[in-house]
């Protein structure tokens, strides 16, 4: 009989390692927690026969440490890997990397029973479609460096400013 376990690895400063089964799993020398109160849902990953951006969603419970990371912006572009570990008669027989990409969007939802955070994840091909560089305003800079005055006058000049010679 062949069974599988899904594993999710999110590259937070201390990696979040989750398994969707009834027991903890050691894989690649890392312990994946079987925490059904934290891992709520793993979305479907669709395969295509052409080069395209693959996306999927993963929904987690709003644990306080996770909410803090989300609200301070420390989640954007973090790596995520979705593994499927196959077992034959209780022995690991194969491993598939179902998805490898980055966290690109998040949505927080407050329900009566619990708070959830849904991350949208995109494959590495998403970089081909994104614009280069960072656009910053004074407000966005304050998130990363409160009290910084470097962008205080950003957006006030209407013409391009030449730097250097």
Q: What is the predicted pLDDT for the residue at 19?
A: 93
Over range 65-84, report the average pLDDT. 87
Q: Which CATH architecture has domain 2-144?
A: Roll (2.30)
- Domain residue limits, the chain: 2-144
Of the listed ranges 27-31, 35-39, 117-121, the least confidently predicted one is 35-39
Contacts of 132 (CB under 8 A, 6+ apart): none
| pLDDT, the chain, mean | 81
Over range 115-127, report the average pLDDT. 78
Q: What is the predicted pLDDT for the residue at 164?
A: 67
Encode the chain in three state secondary structure.
CEEEEEEEEECCCCCEEEECCCCCEEECCEEEECCCCCEEEECCCCCCCCCCCCEEEEEEECCHHHHHHHHCCCCCCCEEEEEEEEEECCEEEEEEEEEEEEEEEEEEEECCCCEEEEEEEEEHHHHHCCCCCCCCCHHHHHHHCCCCCCCCCCCCCCCCCCCCC
Q: What is the predicted pLDDT for the residue at 151?
A: 78
**Whole-prediction pTM:** 0.69
What pairs with residue 26 in β-bridges? 31
CB distance 128 to 54 below 8 Å: no
CA angle 17, 20, 24 (to 5 degrees): 60
Q: Which band of pLDDT confidence, cut at 50, 70 and 90, is reported for residue 86?
A: very high
């Amino acid at each position: 009989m062949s069974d599988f376990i899904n594993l999710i690895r999110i590259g937070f400063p201390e990696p979040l390692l989750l398994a969707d089964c009834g027991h903890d799993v050691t894989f690649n020398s890392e312990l994946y927690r079987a925490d059904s109160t934290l891992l709520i849902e793993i979305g479907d990953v669709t395969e295509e026969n052409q080069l395209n951006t693959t996306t999927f969603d993963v929904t987690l419970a709003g644990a306080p440490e996770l909410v803090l990371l989300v609200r301070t912006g420390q989640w954007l572009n973090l790596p995520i890997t979705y593994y499927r570990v196959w077992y034959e008669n209780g022995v690991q027989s194969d491993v598939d990397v179902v998805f490898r990409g980055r966290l690109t969007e998040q949505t927080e939802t407050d329900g009566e029973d619990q708070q959830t955070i849904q991350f949208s994840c995109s494959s590495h091909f998403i970089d081909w479609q994104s614009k280069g560089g960072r656009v910053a305003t004074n407000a966005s800079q304050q998130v990363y460096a409160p009290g910084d005055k470097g962008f205080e006058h950003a957006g006030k000049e209407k013409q391009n400013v030449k730097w250097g010679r």
